[in-house]
Structure 1
């Protein structure tokens, strides 16, 4: 068992045991120690940032390719890639991390609800224009 090598390492993450699956200069992937299903893994940038917007783009470039490798390595046919930002969005650890969670059956893996809101097309168009002008 190893510990993640982060620069600079937040104390909370530095103290968590780590079963390292893959490591590069910018990224670390390891098994989740409280998994939702077999093969549940985390992929994290080594650059410390609490939220996604705190991490420079060049430190995020390997995240999805590594998550894809983990999907293939675990043989997951159905899975979730999850990333939360802030306590209200269910982020428990103050360091950006992406979950790769196999969903082998109805009871294992991530369970979610999707409370859709009724759409007002005029408001949606206004929101679209506002966001698009800032991208």
Structure 2
């Protein structure tokens, strides 16, 4: 998919609406339009990266971006009423990569899911 036709790039640019939960200079977070769980957020980098496999371990910018995405997940879950504390609650984070990994949109994104066993609906 070309960068110009990327739906997540268009959402990040404000060309397509998305129910935003969070935004900073690197990331946007929106509600998934086809949720697989009571809470289903998408953490999307503003920079177009097709897959997790395109992130390089020796690239400090990629390391920082992936760390930022993961570090944000607990706060997002907690703010949406699905945090983990004192052995109760919890959430799941998923990054699908490539066709065999279940990736449907070729722009790196992370799913934050919570609610009663949200992974039962995930393939």
TM normalised by structure 2 equals 0.72
| Pair 1:70-2:79 in alignment | no
Higher RCO by CA contacts (8 Å cutoff, separation 6 or greater) = 2
Query: How much has 1:9 moved relative to structure 2?
Result: 5.8
Give 5+ residue unaligned stretches, structure 1. 1-7, 114-135
Residue pairs, 1:13-52, within 5 angstroms:
13=8, 14=10, 17-52=17-52
Give 5+ residue unaligned stretches, structure 2. 56-61, 83-88
Q: Secondary structure at the match of 1:41?
A: strand
Indicate which of 92, 108, 118 corresponds to 1:80: 92
Query: How much has 1:70 moved relative to structure 2?
Result: 1.1
Deviations 1:24-45 (Å, cap 9, x if unpaired)?
A: 1111111111001222101111
Structure 1 stretches of at least 4 aligned residues deviating more than 4 Å after TM superposition = none
CA radius of gyration, larger in:
1
Query: How much has 1:91 moved relative to structure 2?
Result: 0.4
- Is this contact kept in 2: 1:80–1:103, CA < 8 A? no
Count of aligned positions: 103
Greater fraction of residues in strand: 2
RMSD of Structure 2 on Structure 1 (CA): 2.2
